[in-house]
């Protein structure tokens, strides 16, 4: 496909794959789309290793990196102090989480150790941590760098410009798009409220034309609920330059979720997700489970701000995931993962490369369907 975004990114088909799984990233890039590696869970050393693997397996095709550097963050601007973060977890929240697990026969003695282990994530979210990650990212020939929450830090924009790497940013409202354009981002990702992970409330069907209407020459990628080439064509009929998809890769053969989660996703309907602050402290959409239900129930504590809530949820859900894999029923019920409403359309497992080819075929069929109506 010849289009400005394809030229800008050096790709054939404007399907961008956000994934925490290096295999997905490389496979999508090889298939003519662009894989974008979610770096937030990794230390700088780990990220270097992952990107080296991707670089060696992407067949010389372009790939990108995605970070989360939120605007407002607990402790931003202060020196990183892990002990202070752990000490900031209220006893009410600790015991709520411990109770949730204990009620289902899960031992909670090691949660504090797991919290300490988790701190490297919080580390990436402060300014100095983010800078180290950027050092690693820009040491590879990346063709895109994205910020998943809010306006990218100035350093990311400057380094992108210096290296000739387009900077993308996710937006959930027209007002955010205007702020991003003013800050100088090169690509907007308009993410509807049906998206997995962090999301706003405006649906993709409304948000895409709204953002396109103010974006001028800045290309807009559509995100939120898109798991087929027909939906991608729909978004592009409304003026999007391409699609940014995350959920659809989760149930691919390569996808990172545990088999228990993949099985839940393949069985889920579009009504089996919930937009909740219980995982990260900001609203993010995820698979409904006894964990998310408990946080939504009356009397549950109010989720903490970022990054504190992750210090509660991730160590517990990490433990849950391990037990669920081992066949623990209570853990299986609690297990959850980020996914969008498009999960209802994800009903079979194929390889990530096959998903890209299916997108292309469905895209063409959708465009021909519309064209046929004009001729009819």
Residue partners of 369: CB distance under 8 A and separation at least 6: none
Phi, psi of 329 (to 5 degrees): -65, -45
Options 61-69, 222-230, 319-327, 349-357: segment touching its own copies (CB under 8 A): 222-230
Q: How far apart are CA 246 and CA 66, in angstroms?
A: 12
Residue (123 or 275) nearer to its own copies, CB: 275
**Which one of 235, 245, 265, 334 is in contact with its own copies (CB under 8 A)?**
235
Q: Which helix (H) or strand (E) holds 259?
A: helix 259-267
**Longest CA span, the chain:** 68
Choose among 171, 343, 221: nearest CA to 274.
343
Structure tokens at 112: 């504090």
The answer to whether residue 194 forms part of the interface with its own copies (CB under 8 A) is yes
Closest approach, Cβ 275 to its own copies, in A, equals 9
Binding marks (x or -) toward its own copies, 135..164, rule CB under 8 A?
A: ------------------------------
Intra-chain end-to-end CA distance of the chain, in Å: 26
Phi, psi of 307 (to 5 degrees): -95, 15
Residue (301 or 344) nearer to its own copies, CB: 344
The answer to whether residue 207 forms part of the interface with its own copies (CB under 8 A) is yes
Return the DSSP state at 12: S
Q: Supply angle C-alpha 312, 313, 315, rounded to 5.
A: 80
State which of positions 260-279 bind its own copies (CB under 8 A).
269-271
Tell me how many residues contact its own copies (CB under 8 A): 50
Q: How far apart are CA 218 and CA 21, in angstroms?
A: 28
Closest approach, Cβ 341 to its own copies, in A, equals 4
349 within 8 A of 249, measured Cβ to Cβ: no
State which of positions 319-358 bind its own copies (CB under 8 A).
340-342, 344-345
**Which one of 45, 46, 112, 201 is in contact with its own copies (CB under 8 A)?**
201
Closest approach, Cβ 170 to its own copies, in A, equals 16
Residue (153 or 196) nearer to its own copies, CB: 196
Q: How far apart are CA 167 and CA 161, in angstroms?
A: 8
Residue (84 or 369) nearer to its own copies, CB: 369
State which of positions 2-31 bind its own copies (CB under 8 A).
2-3
Closest approach, Cβ 181 to its own copies, in A, equals 17
Q: How far apart are CA 34 and CA 164, in angstroms?
A: 17
Q: How far apart are CA 78 and CA 58, in angstroms?
A: 38
The answer to whether residue 280 forms part of the interface with its own copies (CB under 8 A) is no
Return the DSSP state at 240: -
State which of positions 42-81 bind its own copies (CB under 8 A).
none
3-state secondary structure of 376: coil
The answer to whether residue 1 forms part of the interface with its own copies (CB under 8 A) is yes
Options 112-120, 152-160, 197-205, 259-267: segment touching its own copies (CB under 8 A): 197-205
State which of positions 167-186 bind its own copies (CB under 8 A).
173-175
Q: How far apart are CA 359 and CA 24, in angstroms?
A: 15
Q: How far apart are CA 35 and CA 22, in angstroms?
A: 9
Closest approach, Cβ 10 to its own copies, in A, equals 16
Q: How far apart are CA 21 and CA 192, in angstroms?
A: 23
The answer to whether residue 301 forms part of the interface with its own copies (CB under 8 A) is no
Closest approach, Cβ 202 to its own copies, in A, equals 5
**Which one of 230, 301, 305, 318 is in contact with its own copies (CB under 8 A)?**
230
List of residues contacting its own copies (CB under 8 A): 1-3, 173-175, 192-194, 201-207, 209-210, 213, 224-226, 228, 230-231, 233-239, 269-271, 340-342, 344-345, 364, 366-371, 373-374, 376
């Amino acid at each position: 496909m010849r289009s400005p975004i394809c030229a800008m990114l050096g790709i054939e088909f404007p399907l961008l794959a956000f994934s925490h799984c290096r295999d997905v990233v490389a496979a999508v890039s090889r298939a003519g789309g662009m894989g974008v590696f979610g770096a937030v869970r990794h230390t700088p050393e780990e990220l270097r290793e992952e990107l080296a693997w991707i670089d060696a397996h992407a067949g010389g095709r372009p790939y990108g990196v995605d970070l989360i550097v939120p605007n407002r963050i607990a402790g931003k601007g202060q020196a990183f102090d892990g002990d202070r973060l752990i000490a900031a977890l209220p006893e009410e929240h600790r015991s709520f989480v411990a109770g949730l697990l204990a009620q289902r026969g899960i031992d909670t003695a090691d949660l504090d150790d797991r919290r300490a282990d988790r701190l490297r994530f919080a580390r990436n979210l402060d300014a100095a941590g983010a800078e180290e990650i950027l050092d690693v990212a820009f040491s590879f020939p990346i063709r895109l760098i994205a910020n998943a929450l809010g306006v990218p830090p100035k350093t990311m924009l400057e380094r992108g410009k210096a290296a000739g790497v387009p900077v993308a940013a996710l937006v959930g409202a027209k007002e955010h798009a205007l702020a991003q354009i003013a800050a100088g981002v090169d690509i907007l990702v308009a993410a509807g409220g049906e998206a997995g992970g962090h999301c706003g409330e405006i649906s993709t069907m409304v948000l895409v034309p709204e953002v396109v209407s103010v974006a001028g020459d800045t290309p807009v990628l559509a995100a939120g609920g898109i798991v087929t080439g027909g939906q991608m064509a729909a978004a592009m009929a409304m003026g999007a330059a391409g699609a940014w998809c995350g959920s659809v890769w989760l149930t691919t053969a390569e996808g990172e979720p545990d088999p228990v989660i993949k099985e839940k996703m393949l069985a889920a309907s579009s009504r089996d997700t919930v937009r909740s602050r219980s995982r990260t402290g900001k609203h993010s959409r995820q698979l409904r489970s006894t964990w998310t239900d408990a946080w939504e129930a009356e009397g549950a504590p109010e989720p903490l701000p970022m990054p504190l809530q992750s210090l509660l949820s991730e160590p517990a859900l990490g433990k849950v995931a391990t037990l669920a894999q081992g066949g623990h029923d209570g853990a299986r019920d609690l297990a959850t993962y980020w996914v969008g409403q498009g999960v209802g359309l994800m009903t079979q497992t194929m390889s990530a490369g096959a998903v890209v080819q299916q997108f292309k075929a469905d895209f063409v069929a959708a465009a021909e369907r519309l064209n046929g109506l004009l001729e009819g």
